[in-house]
Amino acid sequence: MLRKVDQYRYLIPRSYKPGMRIEGMVYADEELIRQIEADQTMDQVANVATLPGLVGRSLAMPDAHQGYGFCIGGVAAADLDEGIVSAGGVGFDINCGVRLLASPVGIEDVRPKIEPLLNQLFRDIPCGTGRKGLLDISKVELDTVLRDGASWAVEHGYGHESDLARIEEYGRIRTADPSLVSPRAKERGHNQLGTLGSGNHFLEVEVVTEVYDEEVARQFGVCKDQVVILIHSGSRGLGHQVCTDYLEIMHDGMKKYGLSVVDRQLACVPITSREGDRYLKAMAAAANFAFANRQMMTHWVREAFQRVIGSSEVDVVYDVCHNIAKFEEHAVDGSKKMVLVHRKGATRAFPRNHPALPEELRSAGQPVLIPGSMGTASYILVGTELAMSETFGSSCHGAGRAMSRTQAKRETSADELLKQMKGKGIFVRGQSKAGLAEEKPDAYKDVNRVVDAVHGAGIARKVAKLVPVGVMKG
């Protein structure tokens, strides 16, 4: 049923499942496709293809694995007149994403101070479940955060104006409407602003060990042996509640619009509907919360570097969304048109000269940041023209889980894991031992293989490889 197109492409024909309106395409090598076939990912890609008004293909990236409704690592674009928007197609952690910071120092300056640096970061950045943020903002102020995103943070002393150009959407989706975010979502979010979270969220101190493209790396502000910081976090309870709320609204809305779906988690409404419009404005508000959240953590990273390393000259390389729906212009059937691109565990990967990029990155292309699992490599890639023409300007977002949390905990205890990490020269600070064991590196796919598949398929190009020296987990 599945047809191999080339070394990195597998086509899911419409005959794969009744009701598919478009084809599916999975980007993977032979080993990764074997892993992808082991769970329900393929079925989920096919289920997405049954939704009305999608254009192009239902896509899965090399790190794809089974999710809820949509697979994780899925991309689908909808026609603005005929198509649908699905809250599940964005996911619960709206604008869960990654930010990369470049420090002014090399590994030789940081290695001897890695323990005090991690301890400082652990003191300054709240993490783990149930931990409050350092500031308790009013409901009025929270609405400003939801409207202005990272700009709010910069205006309140968290970081620099120049950081904003280095964030997808400049750190603020302008269509956000805070009044469409429920009081419950705001209650979950107001004391979580400026917190890392738990689960797969982390902050890592890494060193650039390899540079594949010197010129692009230079334009990104990255060089060999440099110490960089990777932050993986999202919109916290606020975003989770926005998705929960609108899944219910969409579920009720489907009856009204005569829609039915094969999996309740795929609940969707027409983009042109009142419910769809309201969801997208609430989603944008939650996305802005996440941008502000990562901006605040950036400020605290600078303070920790100042205190422990003696310099706060830490620059933002880029900040990308992993879970988002965006209005973008793409070529569909030979002509350019606006579509709504759902990225569920996928990264935007725009090429050089794209107008969405700031002037300073125009000639290089958009940085695509791919975190590996705890203790393994991470990568910086750059977007390509091929991604633009084939995947709605999208690429993978990480290594992708290969093992359940319960299995991970059964196989390795947290203490064993800490010992293994120490043996690799990685210092780990974690809030929860159980949480640590669930995130052990081999619970994930091999990130090197995932990145090679993306590079090989041409939907992003390798720029540099990063290896962790310090890990902070919730």
Partner 1 sequence: MSKGERFTILEHPSDLGIEARGGTLATAFENAAAGMMSVILDTSTVVARETRPVEIYGSDREQMLVRWLSEVLYLYDGQRFAAAEFSLQELTPTHLRATIRGELLDAERHRTKVDVKAVTYHQLEVHDSGQRAFVRVFLDI
Residues 81-140 that bind partner 1 (CB under 8 A): 91-93, 128-131
Q: Does 406 bind partner 1 (CB under 8 A)?
A: yes
Q: Whose CA is closest to 214, among 472, 462, 474, 473?
A: 462
Residues binding partner 1: number (CB under 8 A): 46
Minimum CB distance to partner 1, residue 83 (Å)? 22
Q: Does 184 bind partner 1 (CB under 8 A)?
A: yes
Reported as type and span, the H/E element at residue 369 is strand 367-370
Spatial neighbors of 295 by CB under 8 A, at least 6 apart, are 149, 150, 153, 154, 158, 159, 163, 167, 171
**Assigned token pair, 222:** 């990255």
Spatial neighbors of 201 by CB under 8 A, at least 6 apart, are 96, 127, 232, 233, 234, 473, 474
Q: Does 282 bind partner 1 (CB under 8 A)?
A: no
CA 11 – CA 176 distance, rounded (Å) = 36
Nearer to partner 1, 156 or 232 (CB): 232
Nearer to partner 1, 15 or 406 (CB): 406
Nearer to partner 1, 251 or 281 (CB): 251
User: Radius of gyration over alpha carbons of the chain, in Å?
Assistant: 21
Q: Does 405 bind partner 1 (CB under 8 A)?
A: yes
CA 63 – CA 355 distance, rounded (Å) = 28
Q: Does 442 bind partner 1 (CB under 8 A)?
A: no
Residues 311-350 that bind partner 1 (CB under 8 A): none
Nearer to partner 1, 351 or 371 (CB): 371
Q: Does 446 bind partner 1 (CB under 8 A)?
A: no
Q: Does 407 bind partner 1 (CB under 8 A)?
A: yes
Q: State in Å, rounded, how far the first CA of the chain is from the last one.
A: 42
Residues 35-74 that bind partner 1 (CB under 8 A): 39, 65-69, 72
DSSP 398: S
x-or-dash string of contact with partner 1, 194-223, rule CB under 8 A: ---xxx------------------------
Minimum CB distance to partner 1, residue 16 (Å)? 20
Nearer to partner 1, 249 or 380 (CB): 249
CA 87 – CA 120 distance, rounded (Å) = 37
Residues annotated as part of the active site: 397
Q: Are strands 97-106 and 24-27 parallel, antiparallel or unpaired?
A: unpaired
Nearer to partner 1, 48 or 227 (CB): 48
Q: Does 393 bind partner 1 (CB under 8 A)?
A: no
Write out the E strands in 13-169: 24-27, 54-65, 72-79, 84-86, 97-106
User: Given the rule CB under 8 A, which residues bind partner 1?
Assistant: 39, 65-69, 72, 91-93, 128-131, 184, 187-188, 197-199, 237, 240-241, 243-244, 247-248, 251-252, 263-265, 267, 401-407, 431-432, 434-435, 438, 474
